[in-house]
């Protein structure tokens, strides 16, 4: 089959590799009909997250048709149409039982690496480093899905793939970001980053009762999308705009009740701290560029909540923890507990409450994927979301 492989920093290649096979009794093989590139895949492309190996098949947002199931898979059969969550969960451990699905105890074959780096291991993920399992990902024509009786969500309506594909990660991730923000009716919520997760977080914040959402980014096309969802926008790249001042100006000096950091480890900053983090990460003295996290801690009101769906990888520098403590902030974060959110969000799509296709800017083939990684990294061509049809022939 064809698959997009990570072949080193800034190097993706679409290669012919072996088809996946059933390896465990709860496995399923999915013939992938639609897959996507996630903003977090750019962290891998940029070499920001350790423990990738040359040859790794990337991709964790995919859906398709069940091709084959292991002997213990009871709720799926060949021909079922499913969306696959990006986290792999066993459904039996204490964490799964507590609905903390992304913290599953039993799905990371390389748990010892994660334990060394983080104390305890979260769940395995598709196509996202060996410290989180080393599982082959879904930017491919087929994928092996472990614990298929727990993860994949069956789509029984005739909704087109593109309307349900984002249930695999970014819609639940944006929704959990808002859920984690402790939003009370009438709250003002600031969202850093208007990429796909940020945009879904904006929609979800309104669904959960926010009166006003302030969206922060630097790309006009993304801020346009944020305004189309009902947010007011702050473009921090415009002359004389200070995000912290803007947040005060827009909230009567109080600050937003909640903040959502939908940016994560590779924050772009156009001030001195941006240069500081670039130098330190280049010298391997820091793993992440936490510009947004610093600003969000400063910007959220006293006693407010900071929700962090943005991915961080390692050890952060100069994070104003004193501000967080003295202002009595709550912080909530983590990879998404997919199984908790997928079904209710599918119902919202089925009822027509939200059409997630508004995000899609590019539709491509697998062969075009490596080039699109570069285009997206370089923030060209107004990319908001790239969807791949793995069976489409190469464009002329």
Partner 1 sequence: MANALKEKPHAESLPLVASAGILRDGKYMAPPADKDGKTWVRTTAQIQASPLDCYELWRNYAAVPLWQEQIKEVRLKGKNSHWVMESRTGKTIEWDEELMQDEPGKRLVWRTVDGDSYNAGEVIFEEAPGDRGTIVTVLQEFGQGRLKTLTDTLTNRNPKQAVIENVRHFKAFMETGEIPRTEGQPHGPRGVTGTVKAEAYGEHIKTPPGLERKAS
Q: List the one residue from 10, 47, 53, 242 that touches partner 1 (CB under 8 A).
A: 53
Letters for 259-298 (x = contact with partner 1 by CB under 8 A, - = none) are ----------------------------------------
Q: Does 18 bind partner 1 (CB under 8 A)?
A: yes
Q: Does 337 bind partner 1 (CB under 8 A)?
A: no
Q: How far apart are CA 109 and CA 94, in angstroms?
A: 18
Site for partner 1 contains 24 (CB under 8 A):
yes
Beta bridge partners of 14: 4
- Nearest approach in angstroms of CB 111 to partner 1 is 6
For 332-346, give the DSSP string. EE-S--HHHHHHHHH
Nearer to partner 1, 104 or 215 (CB): 104
Q: What is the DSSP string of 354-370?
A: --GGGG--EEEEGGGHH
At residue 163, the 3 state secondary structure works out as: helix
Rounded to a whole number of angstroms, the minimum distance from the CB of residue 264 to partner 1 is 24
CB of residue 120 to partner 1, shortest distance in Å: 11
CB of 115 to partner 1, least distance (A): 9
User: Does 146 help bind partner 1 (rule: CB under 8 A)?
Assistant: yes
What is the C-alpha to C-alpha distance for residues 197 and 191, in angstroms, rounded to an integer?
Answer: 10
Among 50, 345, 382, residue whose Cα is nearest residue 217: 382
Measure the CA angle with vertex 311, ends 269 and 355; round to 5°: 95
- Whose tokens are 């690496």? That residue is 113
Smallest gap from Cβ 378 to partner 1, in A, equals 24
* Listed residue (333, 326, 320) closest to 303, CA to CA: 326
> What distance in Å separates the CA atoms of residue 333 and residue 85, rounded to the nearest whole number?
18
Site string for partner 1, 83-102 (x = CB under 8 A): -------xxxxx--x-----
Span from 60-68, 110-118, 284-292, 339-347 in contact with partner 1 (CB under 8 A)? 110-118
- Number of shown-chain residues binding partner 1 (CB under 8 A): 49
117 binds partner 1 (CB under 8 A): no
Nearer to partner 1, 20 or 299 (CB): 20
Of 57-76, which residues contact partner 1 (CB under 8 A)? 57, 71-72
Confirm or reject binding of residue 133 to partner 1 (CB under 8 A): yes
**Phi, psi (degrees; rounded to nearest 5) at 285:** -95, -5
- Which residues are within 8 A (CB) of 221 and not within 5 positions of it... i.e. 6 or more apart? 382, 384
**Minimal distance in Å, beta carbon 376 to partner 1?**
21
Q: Which residues contact 353 (CB under 8 A, 6 or more apart)?
A: 207
Minimum CB distance to partner 1 smaller for 14 or for 233: 14
Q: Strands, DSSP E only, in the chain?
A: 2-6, 12-16, 28-37, 56-57, 61-69, 81-84, 87-88, 124-125, 142-145, 153-154, 188-192, 212-217, 232-235, 258-261, 305-308, 330-333, 362-365, 386-389
Of 74 and 326, CB closest to partner 1: 74
Binding site for partner 1 (CB under 8 A): 1, 3, 5, 7-8, 13, 15, 17-21, 23-26, 51, 53-57, 71-72, 90-94, 97, 105-113, 124, 130, 133-136, 140, 144, 146-147
């Amino acid at each position: 089959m064809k698959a997009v492989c990570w072949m080193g920093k800034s190097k993706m290649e679409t290669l012919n590799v072996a088809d996946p096979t059933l390896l465990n009794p709860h496995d399923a093989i999915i013939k992938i009909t639609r897959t996507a590139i996630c903003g977090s895949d750019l962290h891998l492309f940029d070499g920001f997250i350790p423990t990738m190996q040359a040859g790794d098949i990337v991709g964790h947002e995919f859906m398709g048709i069940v091709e084959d199931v292991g002997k213990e898979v009871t709720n799926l059969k060949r021909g079922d149409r499913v969306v696959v969550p990006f986290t792999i969960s066993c459904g039996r451990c204490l964490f799964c039982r507590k609905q903390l699905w992304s913290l599953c105890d039993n799905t990371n074959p390389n748990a010892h690496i994660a334990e060394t780096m983080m104390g305890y291991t979260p769940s395995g993920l598709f196509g996202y480093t060996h410290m989180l399992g080393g599982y082959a990902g879904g930017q491919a024509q087929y994928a092996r899905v472990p614990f298929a009786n727990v993860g994949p969500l069956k789509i029984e309506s005739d909704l087109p793939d593109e309307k349900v594909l984002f249930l695999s990660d970014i819609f639940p991730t944006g929704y959990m970001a808002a859920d984690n923000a402790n939003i009370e009716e009438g709250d003002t919520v600031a969202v850093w980053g208007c990429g796909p997760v940020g945009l879904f977080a904006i929609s979800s914040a309104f669904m959960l009762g926010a009166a006003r959402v302030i969206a922060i980014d630097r790309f006009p096309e993304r801020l346009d999308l944020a305004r189309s969802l009902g947010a007011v926008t702050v473009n921090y790249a415009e002359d004389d705009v200070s995000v912290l001042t803007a947040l005060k100006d827009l909230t009567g000096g109080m600050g937003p009740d909640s903040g959502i950091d939908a940016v994560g480890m590779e924050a772009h900053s156009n001030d001195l701290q941006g240069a500081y983090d670039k130098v330190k990460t280049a010298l391997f003295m820091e793993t992440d560029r936490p510009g947004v996290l610093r600003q969000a801690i400063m910007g959220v009101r006293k006693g407010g909540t900071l929700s962090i769906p943005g991915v961080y990888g390692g050890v952060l520098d100069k994070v104003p923890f004193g501000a967080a403590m003295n202002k009595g902030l709550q912080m909530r974060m983590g990879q998404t507990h997919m199984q908790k959110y997928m079904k209710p969000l599918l119902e919202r799509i089925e009822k027509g409450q939200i059409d997630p296709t508004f995000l899609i800017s590019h539709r491509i083939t697998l062969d075009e994927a490596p080039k699109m990684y570069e285009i997206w990294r370089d923030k060209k061509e107004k990319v908001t979301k790239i969807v791949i049809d793995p069976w489409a022939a190469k464009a002329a």
